[in-house]
Amino acid sequence: MENVLEAINLNKSFTDPVEFQVLKNISFSVRKGEFLSLMGKSGSGKSTLLYLLSTMDTVYDGQVVINGQLLTGMTQDALSAFRNEHIGFVFQFHFLLPEFSCLENVMLPAMKLNKWSNREIEKKAMEKLELLGVADQAHKLASRLSGGQQQRVAIARALINDPALIMGDEPTGNLDSHNSQNVQEIFRELTTRYHQTIIAVTHDPEFAKGTDRIIELSDGEIVK
């Protein structure tokens, strides 16, 4: 099967406050339709790696290739457009736009993509919210939701443009076991049925067990 993502010899250092190498010679590839989990101690560099892979962080050595396209060195705006279409991201701290309703939060990336009519987008968004069990919150302001609810809305947002790659930084970190289970099932379904690819950072061994492959990070190196 073809590779949807290739990380080639990634190195990343922070210089502030002291020179500190977070990622060391990271190389791996992810196949299309794979459900991958990324584990490791706190501070081992999981979030940092995910930001590189999701093209949001552009300051690193090495190369990131997604869908056969070399993304390293592209401009910010080109990367934004690429993310919009191909990458769905769930942040560790489920960031929603507080002034917008949940529904609008989910709709915005699709409106930016401008591939469907507003009505279609709204329908799709409602479906995603439904899927994650927060459809009843659709018209509430995002800031009025509980942490777990917000996280599920954020997952719905990551799914809206049917991206090839979905990355989550502890996407189930705030969820109870029932909802966590649900998210895992959704992800599984996306990979098997729609051949979307999932990379999820997790501390939850239960969650990791249900995935296709586990990459473990320790002090910025892949150990497994």
Partner 1 sequence: MIVSRLTLRIARTQLLAKKKQTTIAALGVTFGIAMFIFMISVMTGVNALLEDTMLMNTPHIRLYNDVTAVRPSLLEETYGNDTIWPVVRHQRPKQTKRNIKGATMIVSDLRSDPAVIGVSAQVTSQVFYNYGPVQLNGVIAGVDILEEDKLFNLRTKMKYGRLEDLPANRDGLIMGIGLARKLNVNPGDRVTVSTPGGSLQSFKVVGIFKTAVGAVDDQKSYANAESVQKILEEDSRYFTEIQVKLRDVNAANAYGKAVFNQYGYKAEDWETANATILQSFVIRNVMTVIVAGTLLVVAGFGIYNIMNMTIYNKMRDIAILKATGFAGSDVRGIFMTQAIIIGLLGGSLGLIFGYIFSYLTSKAPFDGGDVLSIDTFPVNMDYRFYIMGILFGVVTTALAAYFPSRKASKIDPVNILRG
Ligand X SMILES: Nc1ncnc2c1ncn2[C@@H]1O[C@H](COP(=O)(O)OP(=O)(O)OP(=O)(O)O)[C@@H](O)[C@H]1O
- Judged by beta carbon, residue 180 or residue 202, the one nearer Mg ion is 202
CA distance 66 to 207: 25
Q: What is the identity of the amino acid at 200? A: A
Stretch that binds ligand X, among 44-52, 95-103, 138-146, 180-188 (CB under 6 A): 44-52
Dihedral sign (CA 138, 142, 143, 149):
positive
Minimum CB distance to Mg ion, residue 219 (Å): 14
Q: Before 205, cis peptide (omega within 30)?
A: no
Q: Which of residues 176-215 bind partner 1 (CB under 8 A)?
A: none
Site track for ligand X across 46-85, x = CB under 6 A: xxx-------------------------------------
Q: Is 97 in the site for partner 1 (CB under 8 A)?
A: yes
Among ligand X, partner 1, Mg ion, none, residue 3 binds (CB under 5-8 Å by kind) = none
Q: Judged by CB under 8 A, which of 27, 29, 69, 76 binds partner 1?
A: 76
Distances (CA, A) of 110 to 34, 59, 121, 189: 24, 28, 7, 21
Site track for Mg ion across 30-59, x = CB under 5 A: -----------------x------------
The residue to which tokens 């919210």 are assigned: 129
Dihedral sign (CA 5, 54, 196, 147):
positive
CA distance 118 to 120: 5
Site of interaction with ligand X (CB under 6 A): 14, 16, 22, 40, 42-48, 92
